[in-house]
């Protein structure tokens, strides 16, 4: 997408961060910021007044309307717009919740400008941005236009069920209880999936399930 200009919006309640990221991205000729907003409510008002962005950089914790609610609203009303979550910390729970709300990926706020631009271009073109938590063959399968073998054919029924539970709020111990299995067996499922698909975290498992339509949010 080197020759295409990607229009974006920045939604974050911290004015200095919002203006800072807008200033950084303005240095890239293939990125155009159409508007910025302080929260989800502000975004709802501005989205009708400006050209629609292709990608929205969405903060998670905001007043009036947080990133989860704002992302769900965007996906319900403008499903073609891609959402890239902005996170302060690499924690599973808020990131998984953003993915379940409709975000196509996330990036840490402390990331370099070049990494952010790469994430914007990737989510704009492929719908998903998979960072170092989901590497190797899964990333290649997303970026490869050829038809790849369906990962679901490599999963057992229990692995598929485990993946579905991973996309909920349940802890691994609670998943074990739901599946009537020992925590040790659940650990084995997790490690087997990590190795089989080159995944490195629970967030990665959720992204994998999302990309391959294994779990419906």
Are both 123 and 156 inside the same structural domain?
no
Are both 114 and 185 inside the same structural domain?
no
**How far, in Å, CA of 15 to CA of 6, rounded?**
23
Residue 188 lies in a domain: yes
Are both 63 and 102 inside the same structural domain?
yes
Are both 82 and 124 inside the same structural domain?
yes
Judge whether residue 131 has pLDDT over 90.
no
Are both 104 and 62 inside the same structural domain?
yes
Residue 204 lies in a domain: yes
Are both 10 and 114 inside the same structural domain?
yes
Q: What domain range includes position 193?
A: 151-211
Tell me the pTM: 0.68
Are both 207 and 177 inside the same structural domain?
yes
Which range has the worst mean pLDDT, 57-71, 105-119, 142-156, 163-177? 142-156
Which range has the worst mean pLDDT, 11-15, 73-77, 100-104? 100-104
Are both 121 and 175 inside the same structural domain?
no
Which range has the worst mean pLDDT, 26-35, 173-182, 197-206? 197-206
Are both 49 and 100 inside the same structural domain?
yes
Of 97, 129, 161, the residue at which a domain comes to its end is 129
Are both 120 and 169 inside the same structural domain?
no
Q: What is the CATH number of the domain that holds 162?
A: 1.10.10.10
Q: Identify the CA nearest to 203 among candidates 192, 216, 190, 187.
A: 190
Residue 136 lies in a domain: no
Within 8 A by CB and 6+ apart from 33, the residues are 7, 8, 9, 10, 22, 25, 26
Give all strands of the β-sheet with 31-37 in edge-to-edge order. Answer: 31-37, 6-11, 55-59, 82-87, 105-108
Q: Identify the CA nearest to 9 among candidates 36, 47, 45.
A: 36
127 confidence band (pLDDT: 50, 70, 90): confident
Are both 12 and 101 inside the same structural domain?
yes
Residue with tokens 């402390």: 110
Q: What is the CATH number of the domain that holds 27?
A: 3.40.50.2300
């Amino acid at each position: 997408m080197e020759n295409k200009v990607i229009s974006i919006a920045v939604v974050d309640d911290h004015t200095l961060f919002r203006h800072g990221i807008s200033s950084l991205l303005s240095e890239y000729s293939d990125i155009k910021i159409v508007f910025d907003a302080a929260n989800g409510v502000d975004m709802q008002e501005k989205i009708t007044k400006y050209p629609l962005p292709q990608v929205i950089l969405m903060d998670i914790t905001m007043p009036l309307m947080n990133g989860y609610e704002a992302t769900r609203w965007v996906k319900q009303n403008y499903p073609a717009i891609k959402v890239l979550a902005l996170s302060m910390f690499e924690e599973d729970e808020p990131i998984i919740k953003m993915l379940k709300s409709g975000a196509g990926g996330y990036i840490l706020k402390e990331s370099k400008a070049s990494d952010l631009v790469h994430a914007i271009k990737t989510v704009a073109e492929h719908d998903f941005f998979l960072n170092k938590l989901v590497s190797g063959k899964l990333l290649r399968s997303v970026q490869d236009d050829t038809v790849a073998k369906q990962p679901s054919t490599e999963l057992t029924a229990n692995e598929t069920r485990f993946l579905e539970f991973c996309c909920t709020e349940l802890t691994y111990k609670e998943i074990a209880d739901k599946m009537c299995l020992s925590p040790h067996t659940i650990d084995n499922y997790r490690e087997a999936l990590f190795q089989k698909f080159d995944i490195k975290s629970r967030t990665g498992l959720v992204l994998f399930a999302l990309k391959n339509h294994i779990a419906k949010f």
